[in-house]
Structure 1
Amino acid sequence: MKNILLAIVTLATFTGLKAQQNEVTTTETMFQNENSDKGLRLKGNALFLPVGIVNVAGEFQLSKKITMQGDIFVSPWKSFAGHELQYYSASVEGRYYFKQAFDGFYLGANVAASKFTFQKWSYWNDRIYDNTYSNPNNTSTDVFVMSDLYQKGYSILVGITAGYQFRLSEKWFMDIYGTVGNSQDFYKGYERGTGKRYDGETGFNRSAEIMPYRGGVMIAYKFK
């Protein structure tokens, strides 16, 4: 009888220890799976690279659903299709994923700063520029053709990003996104060739507008 009781106690103890071990193993596995996607993502924008524009970013996780991303955008073209297109920007963005970090739909808050030398799309024509429009007190008799004019300055931008990120393989991800926001622009206007100010100003002009200012298809690689 004593041997039977001893066997029962031994079996119960062994079973309990085994169950505890399985529970710990299951918990560790769940924790590892939950954190398997953590780490730094390095990204490149596949839309702009074919035309020689570099847009790279790094995204890392802060919590289960929140990440932080920093990116830079470099367009070095002094002339692209006949238009100035030098644009350099850097931005910081906080993202909230509705499912979990790096997975599915997200919204983000973006702050960016840029420096540029480019020709506004509205100047892509040969109309005569009326320099009294921006400065009614201007008495200059200079005549300018709009296609010869360009702008140089900097911007401060604040916007909202919406996007969707998904896995391509164990290490590779795709991030599709766009940002719309307010751009506060400070610039000077010049005539190509002569370098003469076409706006009759001595300081910066200022403009503000709501517009899309970021976007694309990022290909991301995960580092542990």
Structure 2
Amino acid sequence: MKRFGISSLLLLASLLRPAATDAQIYAKLNGLYALVGVVNPAVEFRLTDHSAFQTEFVYSPWKSINVDGQSKPMHFGIFLNEYRYYFRGYARGWYVGGNAGMMAFRMSKPYIENWGIHLENRYSKGYGFMFGACAGYERIFRKRWVFDVFFGWSWMTSFYNGYDLDGRTQMEPHRPVQPLHPDPFNGSSEWYPNKIGISIGIRIYDPELHRQRSETRRLRKAARSAASYGKTPAADRGSRMSRPVPAASGSVSK
């Protein structure tokens, strides 16, 4: 999990660098996930008047959670990239998007039963990837703040080992066809929600504003240089005029 997090951060940094020169950038945090102790920062790049690219990281630090008196692991990380299309213009309302990502996990698998979400009495440890779609509503307010509500669904493929809650490896996990010899390594693919939330963000970079500030700094620097250059000769002349003139040799003072 630690290696996955470091790799995700390095990949995120590589994505930020080339885009930072020509796109507005917003940094966001999912408040809905934060309520349950899950961290979900995101960085969104405005590409055109109707499109944007977002990269985000989801991290659940919980080694285990207590459910019905049992401790069940819920430790995972997801790195997700997403393209968005806004119908009425960037951050002016509804949008749809497509996303792709990878994940690493040590968690009990959730399932829905009797209109409730439950966790299996076992857990899996492994990795996987996902491809999905999302829809949401996003608006800019107070010039540089952004409000984003979203929901996504994806096709997830995972590879993992299964364990009992006491840590014993399940050597014969459920699968359509059992191998000749016991093998704990398993895999599965299914449709699952991959994102939901309410995020608040702030603009951290505006290329037009950056160019204006750079031009202002350049003009101020040029003005200071010109002023400094204009004062230097006069100062030199004044210093030369103020120097005492030595008396001529052989002169007699009265």
TM-score (norm 2): 0.61
Following the alignment from structure 1 to structure 2, what is the Cα–Cα distance between the partners of residues 40 and 83? Answer: 38
Q: Determine which structure has more spread, i.e. the larger CA radius of gyration.
A: 2
Residue in 2 that maps onto 1:46: 31
Counterparts of residues 55-74 of structure 1 (less than 5 Å): 55-74=40-59
Alignment check: 8 A CA contact 1:67 1:101 kept: yes
Pairing partner for 1:101 from 77, 86, 90: 90
1:172 partner amino acid: W
2:142 partner amino acid: S
1:114-156 deviation line (CA, Å, top 9, x unaligned): 00111123599xxxxxxxxxxxxxxxxxxxxx63x21111121
Matched, 1:77 2:25: no
Residue in 1 that maps onto 2:149: 176
Pairing partner for 2:163 from 190, 195, 203: 190
Pairing partner for 1:214 from 167, 185, 195: 195
Identity of matched residues, %: 30
Following the alignment from structure 1 to structure 2, what is the Cα–Cα distance between the partners of residues 67 and 83? Answer: 37
Following the alignment from structure 2 to structure 1, what is the Cα–Cα distance between the partners of residues 186 and 80? Answer: 23
Residue in 2 that maps onto 1:202: 183
2:183 partner amino acid: T
**1:54 is paired with a residue of what secondary structure?**
coil
What is the Cα deviation at residue 203 of structure 1? 5.0
**1:51 is paired with a residue of what secondary structure?**
coil
Residue in 2 that maps onto 1:121: 110
1:194–1:46 CA distance, 2 compared to 1 (3 A):
closer
1:11-49 deviation line (CA, Å, top 9, x unaligned): xxxxxxxxxxxxxxxxxxxxxxxxxxx610100000011
What is the Cα deviation at residue 192 of structure 1? 2.8
Following the alignment from structure 1 to structure 2, what is the Cα–Cα distance between the partners of residues 195 and 203? Answer: 11
How many pairs does the alignment contain? 165
1:63-84 deviation line (CA, Å, top 9, x unaligned): 1211100000000111112321
The RMSD of aligned alpha carbons is 2.0
Structure 2 unmatched ranges of 5 or more: 1-22, 114-119, 174-181, 207-254
1:168–1:199 CA distance, 2 compared to 1 (3 A):
farther
Alignment check: 8 A CA contact 1:88 1:114 kept: yes
Residue in 1 that maps onto 2:137: 164
1:215 partner amino acid: I
1:96 partner amino acid: Y
1:122–1:69 CA distance, 2 compared to 1 (3 A):
closer
Structure 1 unmatched ranges of 5 or more: 1-37, 125-145
Following the alignment from structure 2 to structure 1, what is the Cα–Cα distance between the partners of residues 191 and 39? Answer: 24
**2:153 is paired with a residue of what secondary structure?**
strand
